[in-house]
Amino acid sequence: MSSATFLRLTISFYIFLFFAYLFGPLIVMSITAFNSAGFPRLSPWDCFSTEWFGVLVNDARMMSGFKNSLIIGIAVVFVSVPIGLAGALMLSQLSDRVRPVFYTLTISTILVPGVVLGISTLIFWDRMGAMFNTGYESFFYDGIFLTIIGQSTFISAYTMLVFISRLQRFDSVLEEAALDLGATNIQYFRKILLPFLKPAIGSAAVLAFLASFENYNTTVFTIVSESTLTTVLASKVRYGINPSISALAVIIIGLTLTAAFIHEVLKRREHARNNEQIKEKRPIKLKNYSRKNFSNPISVMVLLIFVAGLGTAWMAKGYDVNQCKIDVSREKRKRQEELTQKRLVEMQKKLEAQQSTSGSSKSLKKSAPGTDHYGSIFAPTNLEGQVESTKQKEEITETEKKQYQNIFAPTNLESQVKSED
Amino acid sequence: MKKWFNNFFLRNGLVLSLYMLLVSFIWIIVMFVLPQIFMFDFSFRFNWTQIDPSKIGGPEDVYTLQHYKFLLFGSPNNPDPFNIVDVSVFAHTILTAVFVTFFDLLLCYPVAYYLAHVAKGGVTRLMMLSLVVPFWINELLRAFAFRILFGEEGSINNILVFLGILSQPIDFVRENVALYTGLGYAYILLMIFPIYNAVESLDRNQIEAARDLGSPWWRIHLRVVIPFAKPGITSGCTMVFMLSAGALALPQIIGGPSSLWFTQIIYQWFNTGSNWPRGSAYAVSLLVICVILVLMIMKIFKVKFGEIGR
């Protein structure tokens, strides 16, 4: 039995490590956004500050990239959701011989590296532009148009997969029934199929937008002279980094968590509603339970936000970033001064020590190691040299050794001990 | 074929049929297949746009193999038998992608199995959600996070030095450790979900039966779970391999300064090199080699292409 417990513990530990790997980098990055130091880091911690969010918002390039990203994202949703829907419907009606070919082609758009997709789109439209002999200001050469097309190529496959999984649960009897009752094809599509697919359309749209918003590999080729948030980010991250990027990450992580939370609540609500529908005839008790089930997280969340807001307000009241910064820089200067002082003292000691060493050895014998010391007084490896030179002196007579012991430098003693070992 | 079209139009009506046919056609042919063909064609052409734009379409605008030759042997006055830089970068990229794929497989299989058969209701949902959340965050930002962690002044170095494990900070970025862990991190989700989907449909009774018959846990996995999950495993591996071989953002940001990624060379030919045909030749090479490798793996493990992405 103990081996089973051990196994379970190991598995739990593994799962814990896995999620640490998953979230550790994000948590560290988020924390660095609040450090006032100019380089994103956890330690040494300077001051808690929110100034990097201000830096981020005032970054004109980042903001214009963000705007382009939004435009492209929305356009990609409008292009790729209809394409994905058409693909999924098509797939459900193809004959068994053609279906694998069609499926393979559509899935290939995901598997082909984004870089290759970007390049091929760029070249294709460039050649098209040359063929129709349009100028460089035409849409064939427009970065935003090319990016929308390039991204939609593979994002449509994502949306198609979403639709396929929803269509698998569609009862085709509904189609026959609608058509039998005299609905036209379009009526059937609008009144039966689309309402059934509504949740899938929603999630496909969200997926498409997110995939477009975070895409880099395709975008970097198709964007030509424009910029999106990701391309701006990439050039920023490559040439010198500062915590305003961490601040952006905090915002995106916050939005993501909120979206995930809303998604979860909606799902629970739907679940609860389904339960209610099924067990409608049961007494009221169940109803109450299900309502409690989904209202709880919301109230908890509201409470949390409230507490967090209060906490921040309270902290802001008794906390001044600028004061802290001044303190930190003063402390730093102090530390630096101390360090220099310490170093000076050490150096002086060393100097004295070496002077006396060489002095004494000189007075006895004009030994070579003594003169050596003068040459390297300021070298950082001085101490090591001393150790070595004392080793060399091991052959020197007993009397000399005793004289060495008189030397007051603390480091000298250590080397002496070593040499005597 | 004609019969099928007739049925198709009869079933969907004119408007819907046209919508489905036309949109699918535009997507597959105009947006995907034709650009690939154009890129393939373009990779065999001279770089006239840069050398002499007036010769485009002229008698000298003929096909050439020079870009593929360049990838293999370098410029004509290259003293080495091969184009050592590009070929070794290519090999490094492919080998690292394979390594990352194995790393992700080892990492994710236990978690996927745990999600599918060990964790219960609420925990499963919570874990799923927390799996997905990191992947809604920009790839570049994830790379940035790894840079903060692994930099010479980074948190990991600080901790290790503080604990006295290291006396000198290690430059993880230069050693490519940051790149490997970052790539592994980036595609965890693509590995977990296919395996999860496959493992989840396994009847628990089969595991119970194996256990009742006295099989130890590792043999259950080896003989029952893994063979059953093979399509999922292959599809996860395919996606991770293709995407990590074609990654660009991560190598650009957290790759060591001395080692390039093949996509970075392609990027250079397009951007600073201004040699689009050569860049497309490189891209075609990458694509072809990757596809051949994937098809080979599928052949070995007897998995059909249609099973991917489910």
Q: What is the pLDDT of residue B56?
A: 66
Say which residues have a Cβ less than 8 Å from residue A315's Cβ, sequence separation at least 6: none
pLDDT confidence band for A74 (50 / 70 / 90)? very high
Q: Which residue type does A152 have?
A: S
Which of the 8 DSSP states describes residue A94? S
A254 — contact with chain B (CB < 8 Å)?
no
Say which residues have a Cβ less than 8 Å from residue A247's Cβ, sequence separation at least 6: A33, A52, A53, A55, A56
The sign one gets for the Cα dihedral A142, A147, A153, A159 is: negative
The answer on pLDDT for B125 being more than 90 is no
Q: What is the pLDDT of residue B218?
A: 81
| Partner B, chain A 37-66, Cβ-Cβ below 8 Å | 39-43
At A113, is the secondary structure helix, strand, or coil?
Answer: coil
d(CA A78, CA A204): 11
pLDDT tens for B164-189 read 777 777 777 777 788 888 888 888 88
A369–chain B nearest CA distance, Å? 31
Q: Give the pLDDT mean for B134-141.
A: 80
Residue A317 vs residue B164, higher pLDDT: B164
Residues A245, A233 contacting (CB under 8 angstroms): yes
Give the residue from chain B lying closest to A209, CA to CA.
B136
A389–chain B nearest CA distance, Å? 26
Q: A23 and B130: CB-CB below 8 Å?
A: yes
At A403, is the secondary structure helix, strand, or coil?
Answer: helix
A372–chain B nearest CA distance, Å? 29
Question: What is the topology classification, in CATH, of domain A55-240?
Answer: MetI-like fold (1.10.3720)
Q: Give the pLDDT mean for A154-164.
A: 90
Is the domain covering B83-307 a CATH 3.40.50.150 domain? no
The answer on pLDDT for A390 being more than 70 is no
B236 by Cβ neighbours in 10 Å (0-12 / 13-18 / 19+) ranks as: buried
Domain boundaries, chain B: 1-28, 83-307
Domain boundaries, chain A: 55-240, 243-319, 342-420
Average pLDDT, chain A: 74
Least confident of A191-195, B96-100, B118-122: B118-122
Q: Which residues pair with A236 in a beta bridge?
A: none
B chain contacts of residue A213, beta-carbon cutoff 8 Å = 138
Least confident of A145-149, A269-273, B32-36, B205-209: A269-273
| Partner A, chain B 26-55, Cβ-Cβ below 8 Å | 26-28, 31-36, 38-39, 42
Q: What is the pLDDT of residue A77?
A: 93
B137 — contact with chain A (CB < 8 Å)?
yes
Q: What is the pLDDT of residue A321?
A: 64
B121 — contact with chain A (CB < 8 Å)?
no
